[in-house]
Structure 1
């Protein structure tokens, strides 16, 4: 991995409009809306370039972010030159885009509405309201659906005078009011109209899958939009206050809420697949699954910020999903808790030519020993918050601890899911120690059976001996990436953050080594050394937040605050983060919005807030 250099100053938010290059906008220019079942990416120019329907992990109906020509999109924009500004309506996941043109100004409000459980409502519904602010602005729109990642034949017809696109058991309608007469073309439904002050246009796109397609009335759509805004605000108002970075934390929490798959309680890693970690490279993965590696951060965030319902739902989803493979863990699970994650390739060109475009994720079949530590840490956090565990869950957790005793000495693919020869990764061993430490603590609280407590304690001691003798650089006296290596790995910081009781001097030396060799400005690389894949990658944002939290816990709050301030400024114009950032350009890389980036922000902000309060005592 080559060295990268940069600073927050070099990646400030871009004002106005950035033109498309080859049909693509920078990933930084996307916002996301969601309804707890699906999610859509909306570009700064007003195009919906991604949505999976009916669910977040379903095949895309709009996929232009991965193939500008064949992917399909929902375009809505002024028909004249323009620039734009965006925001989320306060305390909501409803997006507002203001277009400024030489002819006047127009405002577009976008939402995936929350379903009305009383009245008959569409299965899914995308609403786009256009309000004239000043002058007369000519607007144009077109809907080009591509069902099943563009692999299915789309029929365009009219039902009750409304244009409808169908493919098999999927159907979507385009209902337009004061938005021009919809015209059915060869592969699209389109229209145009003048936006003037005092008049609102509305375009609704109801969707149905294996059920009747509901064609709503305008008044119903308007009412659902208002109820959706009100529901988001009620939810946000019930959350606990945070400190210095409250706005960034709340936006991250609202983003995390969009990644919660409401029917099951699972939390998706991202809403997209195959957005590249390196333009033109092969590091393009499907992130529309729930990773066990994110579980402790997820539960901790819900508990810290006053989301008990989400914490409970997520914990029980994790327990049910992991039961399917018990006692072994699968690295990731489907949002419905299933284990089918076969990796396949789509015939799309990929974002700006970055192929392959994948669905499914072969990493599910890897051995990643750190996941056992994450699972036990999550159960430990849940038990501390609730004071109890289900009897069957208690038994299963004890059996997981037994498995860790039997398998911790095996090499694995590690948290970064390397697709080369398995190794003895330090972070994996540390998390095995955490697994047994949490199991012992739960047994001491009489929350899980203690019949093998002596075995757990003995194995925990053996793991600590392995880490402290074989996973340390004699030269730098810090923890290294894997046994016998001199490479560094920012993920080793997670062992410290999750409670591995390593040598305090080695922890400090590791923080210093990460700062000196993996950090460049506010950016932190994941690791040094090879990983078996071609091409480089950007700086991994979660690692930067882990470093900030580690600095705070190591008694270096001033440095932690400075780094945190820089990191918060790296969000895009609506407060979102991708997986990685190119330090040289500020471009987002990887899938987005990235749940782990937002979880790491929340964890670091809460840790720094706690450290500040303790220092003031």
Structure 2
């Protein structure tokens, strides 16, 4: 069994009404993710899918945003954690008059994901008596819609645009006020007593009206299903609890209807408070999908890995130019549009959509082939269509590697990024290995080998700096790039030069146990959490166990003290505050890979 880290905090909002990001836990059901704050307020939930419009958006609009609050009416302190090996979240509220536990889940059933969205929240009395205030306020989407409530038979029903939902409650939940602005209720529980509230919602579809007792029972059923899934993961020993927690977070980002893997569940959470780098990450990146599939394979989550790989290969096998990212249904991502809401801690702009869909990144070639190579290495096989798709991509990589691209960090300045060239080398090397394994046709093998070797020679000639004793971000620059730590996992040639590059990255980009993405990034963003765990993994693969373990312990000491195991994209190294969208898939999969490498699990 795994024990989730506990979070003890006062759950105080700042003067503008915002909670620290590290005080959110994530709930999910295979279609959407809800963020529950430590003060009992669910401040983000897109319905029915992760890339749908938000039903609750207090995360980006503290005053006017939609929220679903279940919190004591008295001042309280909080201790919270996930149930063991589960994505069911528990929050213990202690007041002057008593103690009670809030248990919450985006429910599933014994047959898997429910055909409707069911967000369930149950309060259980432990000591004394605690009265809870319950507020359900539907978001207005920057005043572009006006939610309204109706009475359908004996049921309270809301409608906002194409989404309809039911507010279900147990008999001891008393409605105090109900209008089109909000429904407000109260419930009091003592030892052994419970009260349950829930939302059942769907888009353009009839709604089932489940009895509240059935909804309540599905909280525990969902918990059992999560624990059963976690029990099948490979490995034990050191850091197993942390590995399972990140695996559970990564599982939340797998969009079950298609197999797409979402980069993160939110949009526009700033990389620096007050800064303009606020992106919409509710889409599926080829890079993130490839890395996530590898992580799933490494821990034995084969069904999730296969679903993700099938989605990825289908996107690449339709004869069109590969995109950097797609919607969860596999469509092109719309350009960003600005949404007129205040933004998290007044950080603007708030956007929906992403420009990355129009970029080219050479890294997609390496990501695809590394994923396919790992899939085969685990004893699986490719079908004929997938092998043909990969052959065409290898040819494309061999043709295009000399061009500039946007790089792994999706920068606006096209360059010959060193990491992009290494990714092309990686793609052609894995293509050759797949030929040797009998998984791809050998017709173009000689060409792939020649171009692979040319790429390696080009990198050595143009990207290495004797002055910096490191590979540079790109030729003609003096900058460093922390993503080059990945070259060790990719088995790029030259361990001495890679080790020296890691030392340079630590010296220039490291701060208080974490790492910035590249030279100059500290002026406009926090440390990128995945980079630190890539460094841990690289150190371990280079035989530097003590340094790897020390870096891992330092990072986890900070993260373990900051929340319940739902990690964001970045962290402020001075304050420890989370920055960027969450839960962030790259962070969680980097944790998984680092732990697996530390414990000696095969790549």
Q: Which residue of 1 aligns with 2:416?
A: 424
Q: 1:191 aligns with which of 185, 196, 199?
A: 185
After superposition, give the CA deviation of every residue in 1:127-154 in whole Å (9 maximum; x if it has no partner).
Answer: 1101111112221011011255652221
SS in 1 for 2:131: strand
| Aligned ranges 1:184-223 → 2 under 5 Å | 184-223=178-217
Distance 1:133 1:288, change over 3 A: same
The match for 1:354 is 347
Change (3 A) 1:168 1:487: closer
1:88–1:96 contact (8 Å) kept in structure 2: yes
Q: Structure 1 pair 122/148, CA: closer, same or farther in 2 (3 Å)?
A: farther
Q: CA deviation at 1:275?
A: 0.4
Which secondary structure state, in structure 1, belongs to the residue aligned with residue 309 of structure 2?
A: helix
Q: Which residue of 1 aligns with 2:135?
A: 142
Q: Partners in 1 of 2:124 and 2:207 — Cα distance?
A: 27
Q: 1:307 to 1:182 in 2, by over 3 A?
A: farther
Whole-Å separation in 1 of the counterparts to 2:567 and 2:314: 30
Structure 1: distance between partners of 2:83 and 2:433: 44
Give, in whole Å, the separation in 2 of the partners of 1:78 and 1:294.
Answer: 39
SS of equivalent to 1:192: strand
TM superposition shift of 1:19: 3.2
Structure 2 match to 1:157: 150
Q: 1:61 aligns with which of 50, 55, 65?
A: 55
Q: C-alpha separation between the residues in 2 aligned to 1:225 and 1:14?
A: 23
Question: How far apart, in 2, do the equivalents of 1:368 and 1:305 lie?
Answer: 28
Give the drift of 1:553.
Answer: 1.2
Write out per-residue CA displacement over residues 235-274 of structure 1, whole angstroms, 9 at most, x where no aligned residue: 1111112331111100000111111111111111111011
Q: Structure 2: where are the runs of 5+ without partners?
A: 1-5
Once residues 112 and 65 of structure 2 are traced to their aligned partners in structure 1, the CA distance between those partners, rounded to angstroms, is: 35
Give the Cα separation in 1 of the matches to 2:598 and 2:110: 40
Give, in angstroms, the shift of residue 117 of structure 1: 4.9
Give, in whole Å, the separation in 2 of the partners of 1:162 and 1:182: 16
Q: Measure how far apart 1:73 and its partner are.
A: 0.6
Which residue of structure 1 aligns with residue 173 of structure 2?
179
Residue 517 (structure 2) aligns with: 526
Counterpart mapping for 1:191-590 below 5 A: 191-324=185-318, 326=320, 328-419=321-412, 421-501=413-493, 503-529=494-520, 536-571=524-559, 572-590=562-580
Q: Secondary structure of 2:108's match?
A: coil
Distance (whole Å) between structure 1 residues aligned to residue 287 and residue 182 of structure 2: 42
Residue 462 of structure 1 deviates from its aligned partner by: 1.2
Q: Is the 8 A contact 2:8 2:80 kept in 1?
A: no
Question: Which secondary structure does the structure 2 equivalent of 1:491 belong to?
Answer: helix
Give the CA deviation at 1:91. 1.2
Contact kept in structure 2, 1:115 and 1:124, CA below 8 Å: no
Distance of 1:122 and 1:604 partners within structure 2? 36
2:24 maps to what in 1? 30
Alignment partner of 1:548: what SS?
helix
Residue correspondence of structure 1 range 110-121 to structure 2 within 5 A:
110-115=104-109, 117=111
Q: Is the 8 A contact 1:436 1:457 kept in 2?
A: yes
TM-score, scaled relative to structure 1: 0.93
The number of aligned residues is 595
What is the RMSD of the two structures over their aligned residues, measured on CA atoms? 2.0
Per-residue deviation, 1:530? 6.8
C-alpha distance in structure 1 between counterparts of 2:518 and 2:162, whole Å = 46
Bigger drift between 393-402 and 17-26 goes to 17-26
